[in-house]
Amino acid sequence: MSAAHPIHWPPLAIVVTLAALTWWLNQLGGKLPTMVDTAGFTHDPDYYVVDFDVLVFDPHGQPRHRLRAAHMIHYMDDDTTVLEAPIYSAGLPDGDLEVQARRALLSADNRHVYFLDDVHARRTSAGARAPLSMRTEFLHVTPEARMLRTNRPVTLTQGPSRIDAHSLYLDGNAQTLTLGGGVRGVYETAR
């Protein structure tokens, strides 16, 4: 006769319970919803303004410059602002400047305006015989620094005079105009 080994039920009950708990947790894990971030930003406007018009004043309360547009559209995902039919104007000590285009982009910090597509600028001054006009496809305007620049072909006209160049940099504070790349033109003096 052989002796029977006694079965120890408490340890066996613990092992069976742990196995059942593991199986149950595994089943639950497979049924949990997958976490997907669907709250990401899309390139949809978060606000839209019709007849946008902003006037900026200097510290003495005098108008410094103005930016208007038929429509202003802001996109939250990349913090861009698109202006349709924008017009920038600035009163200068010796005249006025106005820039128009089909559209423009406004930087997130509102310090830079990038005019795009059929850009036309016009500078009038009290002592000039005719206004100075400029045409290009791109113009970067920094209003507070009083700078205009483009790295695209540009045409300047004043009366019958005409100058073509591949780039332009205008510093209003230093009152300098720099033209670059293939500069050519005809300058006619008053008779």
Is the pLDDT score of 166 beyond 90? yes
pLDDT tens digits, 42-71 = 667 888 889 999 988 888 888 888 899 999
Is the pLDDT score of 146 beyond 80? yes
Q: How far is the C-alpha of 131 from the C-alpha of 95, rounded, in Å?
A: 10
Is the pLDDT score of 6 beyond 70? no
Q: Please give the average per-residue pLDDT across 123-136, as a whole number.
A: 84
Q: Identify the pLDDT of residue 86.
A: 95
Least confident of 27-41, 113-127, 140-154, 156-170: 27-41
Q: How far is the C-alpha of 140 from the C-alpha of 118, rounded, in Å?
A: 13
Q: Please give the average per-residue pLDDT across 88-117, as a whole number.
A: 88
Q: Is 72 exposed, middle or buried (CB count within 10 Å of its CB: 0-12, 13-18, 19+)? A: buried
Name, in order, each residue with C-beta under 8 angstroms of 171's C-beta and a sequence gap of 6 or more. 146, 147, 177
Domains of the chain, first to last: 45-186 (2.60.450.10)
Is the pLDDT score of 126 beyond 90? no
Q: Please give the average per-residue pLDDT across 152-180, as a whole number.
A: 90
Residue 21 has which token pair?
């708990």
Predicted structure pTM score: 0.72
Q: How far is the C-alpha of 66 from the C-alpha of 99, rounded, in Å?
A: 11
Q: Identify the pLDDT of residue 108.
A: 86
DSSP state of 40: -
Is the pLDDT score of 27 beyond 70? no
Check: CB of residue 140 under 8 Å from CB of residue 150: yes
Average pLDDT score, the chain = 82
